[in-house]
Structure 1
Amino acid sequence: MKPIIAITMGDAAGIGPEIIVKALTHPDVYEICQPVVIGDLASLKRAAAVSGLGELTIRSIAGVKDALFEQGSIDCIDLKLLPEAVPFGQLSAAAGNAAFHYIAKAVELAKAGEVRAICTAPLNKEALHKGGHLYPGHTEILAKLTETEDFSMMLSTDRLKVIHLTTHVGLIKAVELITPERTYKVLKLADQVLRTAGNANPRIALCGINPHAGESGLFGNGEEEEKLVPAVEKAQAEGLSVFGPAPADTLFYRAMRGDFDIVVACYHDQGHTPVKVLGIEAGVNITVGLKGGIIRTSVDHGTAFDIAGKGIADERSMLEAIRSAVELAPK
C-alpha cells in the first residue's frame, strides 16, 4: 500500500499553503503516496485562488480515516486555529501558534501509526515565538514532542545524502561538540535510517574535520584520531560499512559518483554547501533519529514572506520533500 504522508501547512502568512496546493496537483504525488494536509482549510483555499487553482477541491475531514486520497481533491484535517484571514507576508502570533499545533497533530498521528511520515512546510521562528512557542525551529519541536535526545539533521537530493555531527553552532564550538560518542551515534543513525528505508547494507562515508582529514597529523591537532577514528572502529566492529575519516573535498564527489549511500559531515557548511550547489529546489531537510522511527522531511527554504500571496512560489522543493518522505518512510 502507498504510505500515508501527513503534510503540515506551516505559517499561513508565508508560502507554505501555496506550495502545498501546487504540489498536490501533480499526478505523480498520488502515484507514490496518500497525502493528507494538516492545517487550515480557508488558508489552503485562498492559496489555491491566488495560484490560479480555484477549481481545486479542498475537503475538510475529521481524521485520516475520512480521507479519499483522490487526485484533484485535497484532504485537509482542518484544526480551525485561524479565526480570520492572516495577511500574507506579515508576522502573526496566530499563524505561529497554529503552525506549532499542526506539527503536534502530525506527531500524534505518527505515534498512533495513522501516518508513515511527516512532511513540513516552512514556519517562521519569530511568529512561532510570538505565538508562545519558544523553539528554534521544527527539529527542536519534534524532538520535544517525541521525547528524543539523540537526533540529527540530514539533507537529501536524488544524487546525494548528507547527515551532520553538528549544525547551528560556530565552527570552534562545532569541533568542541564532536566526540567519539556523538560520531558513533550519528554513524548508527545513518545506517538505521537507510536500512529502515530498504537499503540492506548502507555504505557510509565520514568526512575529516581538518583539510585532507589531518593528513597523518600534518594539519590540526589530531582531531580525527581523537574524535572520529574510535567511533569508526566501533561501528565497523559491529558490522557497519563505514569509510573514513577521509578528505571532504573528494568524498562528496565520490558519493555523487555512487561510491557511497550517505556522507557524514562534521559541521554545518561542510555538509550544506555541496547540497546547495546542486540547487535549492533539489534539497530536502530531514530529521532522523526521532523516537518511534518517525521520519520528518521538509522543504529546504523559509516562509518567503516577500513573495507570499503572489502565486509565484516554486513547489519543487515540496515535491522533493514528499518524495523523500515516501522513500524514507519505514517499510
Structure 2
Amino acid sequence: MSGEQRPGARVPGAGPGHPPAPGGEPELGVVMGERRRLVNLAYRLLGSLTEAEDVVQETYARWYATSPAQRAAVASPGAWLTTVASRVCLDQLRSARARREAYVGEWIPEPVPERAEWIHGWSGGGGTDPADRATLDESISMAFLVVLEQMTPAQRVAFVLHDVFRFSFAEVAGIVGRTPAACRQLASAARRRVRESREGATPDAQHPDVVRDFKAAWEAKDLDALIGLLDPDATATGDGGGVVRAALVPVRGAEEVARRAVGLLDVLPGLTLVERTVNGRPGLVVRRHSATVAVVAIAIVDGRIKHMWTVRNPEKLRPWTEDDGLG
C-alpha cells in the first residue's frame, strides 16, 4: 500500500499531519475521526450515501490491512485515507455506467435530509473561507449532483476534489492518474457544465415560498395554481428502481407535470406532504400512513419550478426512515 501514501497531501479542514501515538501508530480516534469527512467526499463523488459508506468501510479495511509499522510511517493518515477513498470512488464510477444502464427507469442520486454536522461539517474545521463554504453547500444540491452524473468519471473526480474540496491539481493528478495539466482541463470542462446549469437560478431566499405555495396548490389539487408555479418547460423525473411504480422517462411540460401531481393524490389517497430540506434545498417529503414513500427535490429558475426529482426507490429512502440517518 506504499503507493497510496502521499505524506505531502493537504486534507481540507484536517489540519497538519497527525503525530503517531507513543507506540508509533496513529491513535484509533485520530483515524476514525476522518470518517465524516470521507463520507462527505464519497457522497459527492458517487451521489449515493449507501455507496459512500461502503467506500469508507473499504478504505478503513485497506488501512488496517497494512502493518502497524507501515501505518506509523504515514505522516498524515487523513491524506492517506482521502487518497484511497478517492481512488475507490473513481473505480466505482467507472463501473457504475453499466449498472445504471441496467437500472429500471431513471436513476436519481440518493437524497439526503438536513444533517448540519454531516453535510456541512469538516473534520476539525471552524475556519472555512466563505467562498469555499458556498461551494461546499451547493455541492450537495440535487441539481448539482445531477450535473455531475453527466460527466466522465475523471471529470467528476477532478472537479470535486479541486473545486469543492480544494485539492491542488498536483494532488488530483496523483489520484486520477493524469498529469496536472490534464486534470486542470478535466476540471475546466466540468466547471463549464456546472456554470451552464446555474443560468437563471433563483436566490435561495425565495425557494421556501415557492415550495410552500406549490405544496398548498398540490394539496388543494389546484391545477391552475400548480401550472402557474411551474416553468412552462418543467420536467419531473421519478426513480422507482423497478421496486415501486414510477414514470420510466421524465415527464415534460408544466401542464402534464401538474396533472400527474394531482393524479397521484387521487390514485394514492391518504398522502401527506411535509416541507423538508432535501440536499440542502427546500423540498417535500411524501408520507402515507406515517411512512415516507417519496422524497421530492426541487430546482427553481426565474422564480418557477424548473425541475422536480422524485425518489421512490425504498433503498434510497433509508436516511429518511432511520433515526440515525447519516450517523
Q: Please confirm whether the aligned pair reaches a TM-score higher than 0.5, indicating the same fold.
A: no
Q: TM-score, normalised by structure 1?
A: 0.31
More helix by share: 2
Q: TM-score, normalised by structure 2?
A: 0.31
Higher relative contact order (CA 8 A, sep 6+): 1
